[in-house]
Structure 1
C-alpha cells in the first residue's frame, strides 16, 4: 500500500535539529534536493502499490534519495544507512522533517527500492532535470523561434554525441574449466539436499566422485602453463562428472525427492547448470570458443562477454550501454546484456533528442562504427551533419577548412569520454555490485543521474563564488546594517535563499 503524505516537503530552515541550529541553504544536499522534482514522479511510483492492502510503503523521495546518496558517496548499502543515520543533511535530502537517531529503513530495503524504481523511471527523472535547466538557458533563443508560422519546423539546433561503453559486473574471471568445476560443486550440494528427503527409503546414496573430481581439477588449475590438450582432457572429465550428477538428480526426483524441496536459489542454479552443460558440450565437441548466449557466471546467467578490442581489456563481462551527451549532460538510451552492434541505435537516439528538445540536432558526433551508409542517408534527409570523413576512397586534396572541421569534431567527442571516465572513476560504473539484471540496470541509470546532478551542483557553487567576487560594493552598502562583514554575509545569504533553484539566473 502507498500512502501519500499530506504535509509539504520540508524547507531547510524548518528542519528541526536537536541542538538548536538551522541547515545551511548552500549545502550541496540542500541544493540537490531542490533540483529533483520529487512530486512530479511520486504518482507514477505510487501505481506500483495497492491503494488499500498492505503496509504503507516508504515515500518515493526516501527511496530515490537513498539510492542517490549511495551512488554519490560510493558506499555499500549498510554504510549508506549508517551515513544517513548520522547526518542531518542526508535526512533532509530523503524528506524527513526532523533529525532522528534511528535508521529510516533497513539496509535490505535498498534491494526493493532498486526493483521498484526501474531504469525507465530514473531516465525520465534525469531527462526532466536537464530539460528544465536547458530551457532556462535557451529561453531567449526559443523566443526568437516562436514567432514562426504554425506548421513550420524548428531549425536544427545543438550538438549530439553518441557512444557506447560497458559496465563490468562483479564476477570472477570466467574460464570453461572453472565454470564446470563450480557447476559440479553445486550439483553435489543439490544431491545432498535431495537425499535428505529420501533417507531411509533408499538403500544407499548415489555415488559421487567429488574428491577425485576435485583433485583432477586442481591438477590443471594450479599449473602455471597448461597445454591445449591438457585443458581439453580436464574439461572432458568435468563434463562427465556434471553429466553424472545431473543424472543422479533426475533419479532422485523420480524416486520421490521433489525438486520443489530445493530453495529458489538452487532451483535457478539447476536450470542454469543444465544450460551451461549443453553449451560447454557443444564447444568441446566442435572445438570452438564461442556459442550463442554464452553463460559466464552461474549466479548471474544474464551476463555476457562483451568484446571491446581495447588494450588491457579486450573482453569485458557486463552490460553494454548506448549513451548520448548533450551540453555535457549524459543520458542512458539503451542497456543490453548481449553484444550487439551499436550503430543500429543511432536513429532511435536522435529521435529521443528530438522528443526531448523539440528539434533535431545540428550535428551528430560519433566514431567510425556509426558512420554507415544507411545512417548517413537518414541524417542527410533531416539536415543533420554527421561527423567524420565521407565513405569511399579519401580525396587527394583536402581543404584547410575540412581539416579544421575534422579536428574540431574529434576533439568535441572527448566530452563523452570524460563522462565515462568520471562515471567509472568517481562512481560505480566501473564495477556494478548488484546481482539481479533489473537491479543492475537501475544502479547504472542512477550513476548517470548522479553525474548530471554533480554537474549542476558544480555550476551552482561556481555562481555562488561569483557572487562574492562580482557583487557591487555600492549595492551592498545600501542596506542598513552596522558591520561591513555582516552586511556582506546577510546579503549573500538572502540572495541564495530567494534564488535557490534558479541559480542560472544569478549570472544575468
Structure 2
C-alpha cells in the first residue's frame, strides 16, 4: 500500500494532536489499516482490535516493527476516527487501493476506462418493520423518557393517549430534555398517523432514514435500507466506485453521480471512464463523455460492444462478495452519514482482498516460471498473460 501518500492525503483530516492539547493522536497508518482489515475480513470494531493483537502480519501491515501485546486502541475510537474522516476521507482509502493495483500493474489504463455500474440495497441493522412492534417500541420509548423526568406517574397503554399526555406536560421540563423528548415525540406521531399503504413511512424509530426498496427478488420482495451504487472494472472486477443514494432514486438518475465519483477516484492514475456498461434500469440516461451501453440499444451495437455487454453480469458476484465477505449486507453505523461511510469501507476492504489474491496469483506464477525473486519478474500484463 502507498502509505506515505495515504498519510499525506489524510493528514489534514487526522491531525497528530488535538487542537486543545492532550496526548498525540494515533498514527494514520494504524487507523487506515484497521479500517481496511475490518471490512476485508468482515469484523466488528471490537473483533478487529482483538485479532490485531494476536496477528503479527496485521501488526506489520499497520506499521509496527515490534510485536505488540496491547490493544492498538479502544474499539470506540474507530467510530470517532470514521466520523473525522468523513465521506471524502473514506474515498481516499478506496482511491489508494486503486492506485496500488495500478502501480502493481494488476490493471492498466484500458481496463480502468471501461466500468460496469449497478445498484443494490445496503440493508440497515433493524428488525423487520411491523406496525404492532413499532407502536410498542414507540410507547416504551416515550414512557422511558417521561419517567426519567417524572412527567408521568403511571404507564400508559395506548400510544395516542400517551403522546397527548406528554405534550400537555412538556412545559414542566427544562429545554434540553424537552428537545430530546420532542424528537421521539415527532417520530411517534409520524408512526401513529401512518397507514399500511402510505409512502415515505417510518420503518425504524432509531433509524428514520431507512427506506423500503423493492428490487424484484422472489425470495425477498422488499429490503429496508439505502440504495448504493457500485462501479467495477469490466474485466477484473476491481471496485472503482461506491456510494450511497438516499431517497431511493431511479437507477438512471444515479449514473451521472456514480461516474463522477469514479472519475474523482481515478484522477491519480490519470484515467477517466469512457464506457459504462449497465442494465436496462439505466436506459434513457446519457452522460457527457461516457458511452453508456445496455441491451436496449441492440440494433445500434457493434460486435465489440456486444462482447462488452456480455460482461455486465460480472458486477453481480462482486456485489455478492461485498455483502458476504465485506459487511455490505447489514449496515450498523448511525444515520445517513454512516450509510455513506460504510459502503466506502466495504469497497476498500474488497479491493484489499483483491490485491491479496493478485499477490497470491503472482507468487504462484513466479514458482511456475522458475523465478526466485520479484526483481526478476516482468510485471507487464502481456508477460503475465493478463
Partners of 1:352 and 1:257 lie apart in 2 by 47
461-470 or 353-362, which deviates more: 353-362
For 1:158, which of 113, 124, 139 is the aligned residue? Answer: 113
Aligned pair in 2 of structure 1 residues 268, 304: CA closer, same or farther (>3 Å)? farther
Relative to structure 1, the CA distance from residue 244 to residue 499 in structure 2 (aligned partners, 3 Å threshold; closer, same or farther) is farther
Paired with 1:252 and 1:92, the residues of 2 have a C-alpha distance of: 59
1:369 aligns with 2:281: yes
More contact order relative to length (CA 8 Å, sep ≥ 6): 2
Q: CA deviation at 1:157?
A: 8.2
SS of residue in 2 equivalent to 1:46? coil
1:444 aligns with 2:337: no
2:22 is the counterpart of 1:67: no
Q: Does 1:411 align with 2:328?
A: no
Match of 1:348 among 245, 254, 257: 257
Q: Aligned with 2:173: secondary structure? A: coil
Structure 2 counterpart of 1:389, from 292, 296, 301: 296
Partner residue in 2 for 1:289: 197
How far residue 64 of structure 1 moved from its aligned partner, in angstroms, is: 1.7
Alignment check: 8 A CA contact 2:242 2:344 kept: no
What are the superposed Cα offsets for residues 104-148 of structure 1, whole Å, 9 maximum, x if unpaired? Answer: 211222221221222221222322331453366499989xxxxxx
Q: 1:87 to 1:252 in 2, by over 3 A?
A: same
Instruction: Tell me the secondary structure at the aligned position of residue 81 of structure 2.
Output: helix
Which consecutive unaligned segments of at least 5 residues does structure 2 have? none
- Indicate conservation of the 8 Å contact 2:117/2:278, yes or no: yes
* Kept in 2: contact 1:276–1:295 (CA 8 A): no
Question: Contact 1:61–1:95 at 8 Å: present in 2 too?
Answer: yes
Identify the match of residue 91 of structure 1 among 59, 62, 65.
59
2:74 aligns with 106
Query: Structure 1's 190 and 368: CA in aligned 2 closer, same or farther, altered over 3 A?
Result: same
Query: Does the Cα contact within 8 Å between 1:350 and 1:360 map onto a contact in 2?
Result: no
Deviation at 1:337, TM superposition (A): 3.0
Structure 1 pair 269/371, CA: closer, same or farther in 2 (3 Å)? farther
- Asked if residue 184 in structure 1 is aligned to residue 184 in structure 2, the reply is no
Q: Deviations over 1:260-304 (max 9, x none)?
A: 358xxxx656513423423541x34xxx52233x22111122222
* Distance of 1:77 and 1:132 partners within structure 2: 25
Cα shift at 1:49: 6.1
2:170 corresponds to? 253
Residues matched between the structures, number: 379
Equivalent residues of 2:113, 2:275 under 8 A apart: yes
Secondary structure of 1:428's match? coil
Match of 2:11 in 1: 43
Q: CA deviation at 1:359?
A: 5.7
Q: Normalising by the residue count of structure 1, what TM-score does the alignment of the two structures yield?
A: 0.66
Kindly indicate whether the alpha-carbon contact (under 8 Å) linking 1:365 and 1:409 is maintained by their aligned counterparts in 2: yes
Q: 1: CA distance between counterparts of 2:282 and 2:127? A: 32
The answer for unaligned runs of 5 or more in structure 1 is 1-32, 143-155, 199-204, 214-240, 473-491
Match in the other structure for 1:169: 124
Structure label with greater radius of gyration: 1
Corresponding residue number in structure 2 for 1:53: 21
Aligned equivalent of 2:370, options 458, 471, 490: 471
| TM-score of the two chains, using structure 2 as the length reference | 0.84
Cα distance change of structure 1 residues 332 and 179 upon mapping to structure 2, 3 Å threshold: farther
Task: Return the alpha-carbon distance in structure 2 between the equivalents of residues 337 and 48 of structure 1.
Answer: 34
